[in-house]
Chain A
Amino acid sequence: MSASATWRALGTKAVVMADHAPGLPAAWAAVERELDAIDRSCSRFRDDSELTMVNRAGGRRTAVGPLLVEALLAALRAARLTDGDVDPTIGEALVLAGYDRDFASVQGSRHTLKAIRAPGWRVVEVDAAAGTVRVPAGVVLDLGATAKALAADRAARAAAQAAGCGVLVNLGGDLATAGQPPPGGWHVRVTHDHAAPPDAPGETVLVTTGALATSSTTVRRWRRGADTIHHILDPATGAPAAGPWQTVSVAAATCVDANTAATAAIVRGERAVAWLEHLGLPARLWRTDGSVERVAGWPEPAQEAAAA
């Protein structure tokens, strides 16, 4: 018998599901520990986080712990593998867009968005051996595209080991699994908003291994001048990505890879279909007109398969 726990963490909804109910308390505790550690290391919104120290160092080298080093290496790898479509130096552009605090506190503005392109991930210097990081003065790092996913990966691993059974960790729609899945797999509903009710538009798939993440322009939206903007900015322009996709879900071996691909797909636009197909990443891309593209083995929904 499976069991789950739900609570608020990292500014979103956190869920841990254990395939064996007695394992839930240990799994939950392990996930909480991981999320707390990630928040203290990687949050852009905490004055006492290590990331804030780096952002405020004025170009000086800063000593950081191994968790932030790991998170930064994951973010830089994501930037490399997406040719900068997912870039941790997007922080200043997000601040200028108004996303300068936990999203629950973000307010609209009557001023028009002033977009600036990201300085580019190559300006980030990480010395993993020495445990130091340096960014030029004025560069603001934001790990929003990868740190939550990294937290899901780490938490799932830790929870499975602690509980001794299969687990699924869901952090605001970034899902990671570890351990033996339930018979048939984990039921996952993909939709626009991770907080949507079970009958919201979308489809349900079974996940047996790895991770699944969804990026969407339909959530975290706010007003700037006459425009409504969203949080997925194109690092090349600093403006909200304006491609054909409103929501992209990707399955991958890790949640970091899944979320990297989903976010990059939103930024890349039409080119994302061939890119995801080339990488063999099963994905579901939802156009702004409501139509859906499925690539690299993403299954057709049950009713359509039956009709075909």
Chain B
Amino acid sequence: MRSLDPADRDAALQRLRRARTWVVLGALGLTGAASGAAAASFRGHHATSKTTTTTTTPPETTTQQAPRAAPSGPDAIPLPPSASGDDQNLQAPQQAPQQAPQPAPAPAQPAPQPPATSGGS
């Protein structure tokens, strides 16, 4: 059995503590890197949940003439999900079509945009 000088022992313990510190710091670093990679990989899902929130919020603007602020980026535009490639069932809209009000006679106002037409083609 090798005898150990107290000074040698203290130095060895110091090295052990340093090594343990590096192991902990390394583990923390790897965990952070893995979290970042996972967040980047699932960015699409994140955007979808944003879409849900934004789209169900009724528009605050009440006049069609009011100027709108430019969106800050692509995420500001609620976009429909992609339909291709997944096995999810056919998806209902977030809100069913609503009954259109009967057009009220308003001769003083400019004619509104004619409705879009959905029919066979």
Contact = CB atoms under 8 A, between A and B. Distances in A.
B91 interface: yes
Given A2-B64, A183-B59, A195 B119 contact: yes
B109 interface: no
Contact of A251 (B68, B74, B93): B93
Contacts, number: 235
Interface residues of B, number: 48
Given A2-B113, A302-B101, A219 B95 contact: no
Interface stretch (B2-10, B19-27, B30-38, B77-85): B77-85
Nearest to B74: A161
B48 to A, nearest CB: 11
Interface residues of A, number: 99
A282 interface: yes
Interface of B: 54-56, 59, 61-65, 68, 70-71, 74, 77-87, 89-102, 112-121
- The 10 A-B residue pairs with the shortest CB-CB distance, nearest first, are A216-B120, A172-B121, A210-B93, A74-B84, A256-B83, A187-B115, A253-B91, A205-B97, A297-B96, A299-B99
18 contacts: A2-B64, A19-B64, A80-B87, A172-B121, A173-B121, A174-B118, A179-B77, A186-B115, A187-B112, A188-B117, A189-B116, A202-B119, A207-B97, A209-B93, A254-B81, A282-B97, A296-B96, A299-B97
Given A247-B119, A281-B90, 13 more contacts: A19-B64, A74-B83, A170-B116, A179-B79, A181-B59, A186-B115, A187-B113, A188-B97, A188-B115, A191-B119, A212-B97, A253-B81, A253-B93
